[in-house]
Structure 1
């Protein structure tokens, strides 16, 4: 009969040949985030996995509520894209007590016991920051006044991208970050912050480093409205590699984007299935990043999936 102890673990807790997975997503603050959600949803459908989806609307408390609900419902596994790094231990301990594996996607957490989550599937945010800074060094000859549009405060993406960028910039004394403020990973906030930078800066702004493409696209709007030419008067580099960034590069308004691939569904569900089956899963599963500038944008834009 269904549900007997001989049934393989990969079959759902109700005995049916279908896994039930809870997915707590941060929100829909960017086209990157939307692409990630679609990747996970479509992969669940392709594998006949029942996906319970929760949009946290940028709030950790909503994610914690969703996770506790998933646990109470007895899901087989949880996929979590954490909005910030800290504050997860109680709910993750709750999941561990119920033997529910938690797969982190794209962002990490800081916990005292790393066994509280199974694996992190994502890219190397520190490396992305370094790659952006290396491009800046080459593009500017090591001399520029830089403004930085930071991501969500407390998020691993914002912390690590800034860390990687700063590591390289610090080696070049004529590269100076003259202003830095959060744009919360959104286009609207990126535009608002860039407007403030343009009005308040006493120094000429040579370059914008945005922690994601959406903030860069907002900054482009602000620069244009201020009567300057983005991509010419002010150099702009961002991170994510979404199609909108490629369109901006083709138009000459964005100079470079560092890819952060959001199509994590296949790799995430590979990890889910291995964890539910009792197999060992490596603690970090990395997705490779690439750097794209205007010279290749037109050639590659047709093949972008996000």
Structure 2
């Protein structure tokens, strides 16, 4: 009887330990460059809908960097001090973030880069190829203008990898078409309101000298569109090309007012968390986000150990606009 009781107690203890192991939760921080724009708002919203967040496997905290590199670096240091298990990082400045990331890694805090790369870092990355994105939007402008005309470029925050790489792709294409001239380029910091004011200034300075606007994200393209409409001009008069595929941009893209290309916020944020969990849990972990099925033809899971996961750009067209709009406005649980 005593022996049976001992075995029963041991079995119960083993079951309890097993349940505790299965119920282990991970402390994860998501440090994003800022939450004023639609894309990062969607990125965060989709991350909160990851199955591991919904069932409590991940205790998630969002850190708003307020578009400031020093703020982000301080946030990373705070997460290291508070012993977070992993950091999902979208830096405002690709170079300024490197030191803080190195300190986190030296303290055995896992860092995954999402959406925006980190200079000189070995952190795994999931996102789109921004050079290719720049090529796509510049080529769309070339096609709309028939290879000649004057364009302006509304830049993202100077120094962020998305701004650097998108511009690299844009210039690569535009330099092949010498009859297209860049008359102005300036940052609007991913801001719709700043882009509107900037475009108004340019339209005043060049009343008949601008034929097209290349905006490095959708919010800035929408601000430019407001300014263009304020002059009673249409997209036929002044085409606008962009990147992101955000809800408001998809709506106007369906009508031809903006040309944009979708980068999938859900894939970037939920994919980053799956990569982090693979490293935290171990080789038994299977990705839980639907995005790996969505992009199965383009992106291999590779047991969650690849250095980079490059997601495809999706052109927004009249045909697919409604489907993409539903995709980016309805979280998939």
TM-score normalised by L of structure 1:
0.88
Contiguous gaps of at least 5 residues in structure 2: 1-16, 284-303
1:276 paired residue number? 280
Separation in structure 2 between the aligned mates of residue 205 and residue 93 of structure 1, nearest angstrom: 44
* 1:122-172 superposed Cα distances (whole Å, 9 cap, x missing partner): 100000001112222222221121111111111111111110011011011
Higher helix share: 2
Give the conservation status (yes or no) of the 8 Å contact 1:41–1:265: no
Separation of aligned partners in 1, 2:46 and 2:204: 40
Contact 1:209–1:237 at 8 Å: present in 2 too?
yes
Q: Find the counterpart in structure 1 of residue 61 from structure 2.
A: 52
Say which of 74, 84, 88 aligns to 1:75: 84
Distance in 2 separating the partners of 1:240 and 1:144:
25
Q: 2:36 aligns with which of 29, 32, 38?
A: 29
Q: How does 1:62-101 map to 2 (within 5 A)?
A: 62-101=71-110
State the number of aligned residues: 289
Pick from 193, 217, 233: which aligns with 1:212?
217
Q: Is the 8 A contact 2:250 2:325 kept in 1?
A: no
The answer to whether 1:257 aligns with 2:260 is yes
Contact 2:114 2:269 in 1 (8 A): no
Match of residue 143 from structure 1: 148
Counterpart check, 1:241 vs 2:248? no
SS at match of 1:240: coil
| 1:194 equivalenced with 2:199 (yes/no) | yes
Kept after mapping to 2: 8 A contact 1:246/1:297: no
Report the counterpart of residue 312 of structure 2 in structure 1. 288
**Distance in 2 between the 1:298 and 1:276 partners?**
37
**Which structure has the bigger radius of gyration?**
2
Distance 2:305 2:211 in 1: 45
User: Which of 109, 122, 126 is the equivalent residue of 1:121?
Assistant: 126
Task: Provide the rounded CA distance (Å) in 1 between the counterparts of 2:79 and 2:277.
Answer: 17
- 8 Å contact from structure 1 (residues 151, 183) kept in 2: yes
Equivalent residues of 2:138, 2:241 under 8 A apart = no
Quote the Cα distance in structure 1 between the aligned partners of 2:227 and 2:147: 25
136-145 or 146-155, which moves further after superposition? 136-145
| Alignment root-mean-square deviation, CA | 2.2
| Runs of 4 or more consecutive aligned structure 1 residues displaced over 4 Å after TM superposition | none
Q: Which residue of 1 aligns with 2:165?
A: 160
- Render the CA deviation track for 1:94-127: whole Å, top value 9, x for unaligned: 212221110011001112xx33x2x011100000
The separation in 2 between residues aligned to 1:16 and 1:67, in whole angstroms, is: 26
Partner-residue secondary structure (3-state), 2:147 = coil
Distance verdict in 2 for CA 1:272–1:31, change over 3 Å: same
Q: State the distance in 1 between where 2:79 and 2:324 align.
A: 39
